[in-house]
Amino acid sequence: MRKGITKRALSIVLATMMTAMTVVGCGSKTTNTTEPGASGNYVNGAYKDFSKGFAEQVTIKIPVYDRAFEGWDVTNNYYTQWIQKQFGDKYNVKVQYVAIGRTTEVADNMQMIAAGTAPDIIFHYDMPQAVNYYSEGAIQDLDLNEIANYAPDYYATLKDTIATYGKLDGKNAFTFGERTPIYYNYVQLMRQDWLDKVNMKMPTTRAELDKVLAAWKAAGLGNGGGFLLQTGFNYMYGTLPANITDKDKALYLDLNVAPLTWQASKDYLKEQNFEYNAGLIDTEFYLNEKDTDTKADFVSGKSGIYGAYLTSSTDIISSLLANNPTAKVATMDGGAMAADGKAAFYQNPSYGMIMGINSKTTDEQRAAIFMLLNWMDQPDNLFYLQNGVEGQNYTMVDGIATPIAGYKGESALSKNNNKDYWCLVQEVAHYETVEKTYKANLKVLAPTGYEYLISDANKYADKYMPLGVITPIFTKTVASVAEYSPDLKSMWKEFYVDLVTCPADQFEAKYIKYSKEYLDGGYQEILDEKQKLIDEGSYIIAK
C-alpha cells in the first residue's frame, strides 16, 4: 500500500527554494491495490488488534494550520497536550503536530513531501489540490475495510461520503471530515460608521458598491481594500453567467488554476481595472499576499471592507476598536459583488477537510491515525475540543455551551475555537437540530454584542442560497493540471496584476495578448484534457 514520491514533486520543491514558486518536472506514480484486506495490518483473515495499545510506541505526525494567531503555539498547547494524554498515552502513540502555513500550505507541503518529512495526513480543503498531491504520488491508496475496523464510528458517519467522493482513477484515495454546511460563519465586514458618514445605505449591487467606495474616497475615509489573488480561484463568482451549465462548471471552475480566458474572468478583471483606476480599492493590493496584511489594513482604518470567518474569540473587532473607538461594523450584502445583485457563491460540497495518507506512512502509523479519528469523533472528546472546560471556557445555558467572554486562562481556545484540530472529523460544530445549532452559533461565532453580524449573514445566506454553485469533481486525475498549474499561477499573478493596474484603454489589447500566452503556457492542454473527460462522463456533480 505504498505510492512513491515522483521526481516531479522533488523538482517542484527545488524550484520553490530557488525562485519562490513551484514548477514542474517529469515523473510517474506507482499504483496500488485497494482490495479489502490489502493492508499490511490484515493478517490471517483479520486486522491486527491495537485496542490495548501498540507494543512499541508509534509516532504519527498530524498537520495543523498555523494562522499566525498571536500568542498561540499550534504544535504545543493545552489541547495538543490533552490529546496526547487522553489518546496518545492510552494507545502508546506519540501525536506530533506539524504546523502548516494557512496561506503557504501548498509550498509547505510540497517541500516536506520531497524532503520526506511531510505529515502522515496530507490534507487540503480544495479537491483539485488534493488530486495534485495524489497525482504526485504523495498519497497512498486506502483499504476502506481497514478504516471501518480501526475507526468504526468515524467511518459509519462518513462512509457514504467516502464512497461517493473519495475515489480517483478507480482507487480509494481520500477520506474526509464531516460537513453540515452553514454559510453565515464567513462574513464580509463593512464599516457601518463610514456608510453613515456619507449618508448611504448598504449596497446591493456592484454599481451601488462603487458609489459607496467613491463616496468614501471623496470623504477621505478609506478604500475598499484588496489583496493579491494567488490561489483558491473563486474570484469570478460575482460575474458568472446566469445560464452556466454543469459542463462549463467542470471545464472552467478550478480552485487550482485561474480561468483567465473565460468571459467571467474578463468581466471580473475589467471591473477591478475600473475600480483601481478610480482609486476605489487599495492601489497597492498586490502587496497584500497574506490575510494578516488585509486584516491590518481594515483594523487600522485604511480600508472599510474585510472578509473573515468569525468566532467569539476573534480579535478583528477589538483590534479595530482599539484604533478606532467609534467604529461600527455591519455584514455586507453579498449582492454588492454582482452587477445584477444576484450573488452566486462558492457552495461547499457535502464533505469538509479532504485527507489522504502519506505514501511513506507505515501500516501501524496508518492504523493509529484512524484510531485517532475515531477517538476524536466521540461526542465528549469532540465537544471538549470545540468548547473547552466547563466553568472556564463556557457555561451551559439551555443545553448550549455559551462562551465566557474574556477568558484567557490555560485552557483558552485558539481564535477560531480550535477548529484546526477538530476539522479532521467535523467541519462545522453542530447540535442535534438546525435551530439549536443556529442559536448556539449566535454565541460562538461572534463576540458578545455583535451577534447581529451572524444574524444578518444568515439572512443573506438564505436569500442567495438558490444561487450557490458547486464545482463538479473529476473521477480521474487531470494530469495537465498538475503539470502546468505552477507555471500558470506565476503567469496569472503577472498578467492579472497588470490587467487590473493598466490604463483602461490598454485593457482589451493586454487581455487578448495575455490570454494567448496563457493558453500557450499550458491552459489549452488543461481545457482539452478536461473536455475529453467531460465527453466521456468522467465527472460527478457534487451535492
CATH number of the domain that residue 156 is part of: 3.40.190.10
Residue 75 has pLDDT above 50, yes or no: yes
Q: Is pLDDT larger for residue 9 or for residue 375?
A: 375
Q: What is the pLDDT of residue 38?
A: 65
- Tell me what the mean pLDDT of segment 28-45 comes to: 61
- CB count within 10 Å of CB 141 equals 25
Q: What is the pLDDT of residue 19?
A: 35
Q: What is the pLDDT of residue 294?
A: 96
Of all residues in the chain, what percent carry a pLDDT higher than 90? Answer: 79
The answer to whether residue 87 sits within a structural domain is yes
Residue 420 has pLDDT above 50, yes or no: yes
Domain that holds residue 356: 7-178+352-381
Alpha helix stretches (DSSP H) within 233-315 = 246-252, 263-277, 291-300
- Tell me what the mean pLDDT of segment 76-103 comes to: 97
Q: What is the pLDDT of residue 183?
A: 92
Q: What is the pLDDT of residue 107?
A: 87
Residue 542 has pLDDT above 90, yes or no: no
The answer to whether residue 33 sits within a structural domain is yes
Residue 129 pLDDT class (50, 70, 90 cuts): confident
Question: What is the tally of structural domains in the chain?
Answer: 1
Burial readout 431-443 (b: 16 or more C-beta within 10 A, e: otherwise): eeeeeebbbbbbb
Model confidence pLDDT, tens digit, residues 314-330:
899 999 999 999 999 99
- Tell me what the mean pLDDT of segment 283-307 comes to: 95
Beta strands in 359-508 (DSSP E): 394-397, 400-403, 468-469, 473-474
- Tell me what the mean pLDDT of segment 45-58 comes to: 97
Contacting residues for 362 by C-beta, under 8 A, at least 6 apart: none
- Tell me what the mean pLDDT of segment 88-104 comes to: 95
Give the lowest-confidence range in 235-244, 371-380, 509-518, 522-531. 235-244
Diameter over CA atoms, the chain: 77
Give the lowest-confidence range in 3-7, 108-112, 426-430. 3-7
- Tell me what the mean pLDDT of segment 3-28 comes to: 39
The answer to whether residue 271 sits within a structural domain is no
Model confidence pLDDT, tens digit, residues 241-294:
988 999 999 999 998 899 999 999 999 999 999 999 999 999 999 999 988 899
Model confidence pLDDT, tens digit, residues 170-207:
999 999 999 988 999 999 999 999 999 999 999 999 99
Rounded to the nearest integer, the mean pLDDT of the chain is 91
Rounded CA-CA distance 63/61 in Å is 7
Q: What is the pLDDT of residue 155?
A: 98
The answer to whether residue 158 sits within a structural domain is yes
The answer to whether residue 342 sits within a structural domain is no
Output the pTM of the full model: 0.81
Q: What is the pLDDT of residue 374?
A: 99
Q: What is the pLDDT of residue 35?
A: 52
Tell me if 185 sits within 8 A of 157, measured CB to CB: no
Q: What is the pLDDT of residue 25?
A: 32
Q: What is the pLDDT of residue 97?
A: 98
The answer to whether residue 509 sits within a structural domain is no
Give me the residue label for grid cell 480600508.
Answer: 303
- Tell me what the mean pLDDT of segment 83-111 comes to: 95
Q: Is pLDDT larger for residue 61 or for residue 180?
A: 61
Q: What is the pLDDT of residue 273?
A: 99
- 11-19 long-range Cβ contacts below 8 angstroms, 24+ apart: 12/110, 12/114, 12/136, 12/486, 13/110, 13/111, 13/113, 13/114, 13/115, 14/114, 15/486, 16/107, 16/110, 16/111, 17/111
Rounded CA-CA distance 334/464 in Å is 8
Residue 51 has pLDDT above 70, yes or no: yes
Cell of 190: 463593512
Residue 37 pLDDT class (50, 70, 90 cuts): low
Residue 11 has pLDDT above 50, yes or no: no
Cell of 130: 488534493
